[in-house]
Structure 1
Amino acid sequence: MEISIIGSGSWATAIANLLSESQDVLMYARDINVVNSINENHINIKYFPDEKLRKNIRATSNIEELFENKYIVNAIPTQNIRSVYENLNPFFDENKVIINLSKGLELNTHFRISEILKDILGDINYAIVSGPSHAEEVIKKMPTTLVCASNDINLAKDIQDIFNRDYFRVYTSTDVIGVEIGGSVKNILAFGIGMADGLSYGDNSKAALITRGIHEMERFARSFGADEKTINGLAGIGDLIVTATSNLSRNNRAGRLIGEGYSIEESIAKVNMVVEGIPTTRAVYELSKEKNIEMPITYEIYKVLFEGKSAHQSVKDLMARDLKNEY
Structure 2
Amino acid sequence: MQSKPPIVAVIGGGSFGTAVVKMVSENLGSCHWWMHNDDSALHIKRYHHNPRYLSSVGFQPGSVHVYTDVNGAAANADIVIFAVPSAFVKEVLEGLADGALAGKLVCSTIKGIIPDENMIVGEYLREVVGVPEENIVVITGPCHAEEIALERLSFLTVAAKEKVVAEHVAGVLKNHYMRCTLSTDIYGTEYAAVMKNIYAIAAGMCHGLGYGDNFQAVLISNAAREMRRFMKSTCEGPINIKKSAYLGDLLVTCYSQFSRNRMLGNMLGKGYTVKSAMAEMTMVAEGFYAVPLVAKIRKKHEVKMPIVKAVNEVLYEGKSAKKVMAKLAQKLN
TM-score by length of 2: 0.92
Change over 3 Å in CA distance of 1:145–1:43 after alignment to 2: same
Q: Deviations over 1:68-96 (max 9, x none)?
A: 21110000112221222134251335421
Residue 27 in structure 1 maps to residue 33 in structure 2? yes
**Residue identity matched to 1:75:** A
Pairwise CA distance, 1:245: 0.5
State, as a whole percentage, how many aligned pairs show the same letter.
29
**Residue identity matched to 1:27:** W
Query: Which stretches of structure 1, 4 residues or longer, exceed 6 Å deviation after superposition?
Result: none
| SS of match in other structure, 2:119 | coil
Change over 3 Å in CA distance of 1:292–1:223 after alignment to 2: same
Match runs of 1:1-327 below 5 Å = 1-23=6-28, 24-55=30-61, 56-68=63-75, 69-88=77-96, 90-92=98-100, 94-124=102-132, 125-227=135-237, 229-321=239-331
Q: Which moved more, 1:4-13 or 1:85-94?
A: 85-94
CA distance in 2, matches of 1:266, 1:123: 38
Gaps of 5+ in 1: none
| SS of match in other structure, 2:51 | coil
**Residue identity matched to 2:65:** R
Pairwise CA distance, 1:164: 1.2
Pairwise CA distance, 1:217: 0.8
Change over 3 Å in CA distance of 1:54–1:209 after alignment to 2: farther
The answer as to whether partners of 1:177 and 1:225 remain within 8 angstroms in 2 is yes
CA distance in 1, matches of 2:117, 2:70: 25
What is the RMSD computed on CA atoms of the aligned residues?
A: 1.6
Gaps of 5+ in 2: 1-5
CA distance in 2, matches of 1:105, 1:216: 19
Q: Which moved more, 1:296-305 or 1:152-161?
A: 152-161
CA distance in 1, matches of 2:97, 2:119: 19
The answer as to whether partners of 1:17 and 1:54 remain within 8 angstroms in 2 is no
Q: Which moved more, 1:70-79 or 1:221-230?
A: 221-230
| SS of match in other structure, 1:20 | helix
Q: Deviations over 1:81-118 (max 9, x none)?
A: 12221342513354211111101223354322111111
CA distance in 1, matches of 2:219, 2:212: 11
Pairwise CA distance, 1:209: 1.0
CA distance in 2, matches of 1:94, 1:243: 34
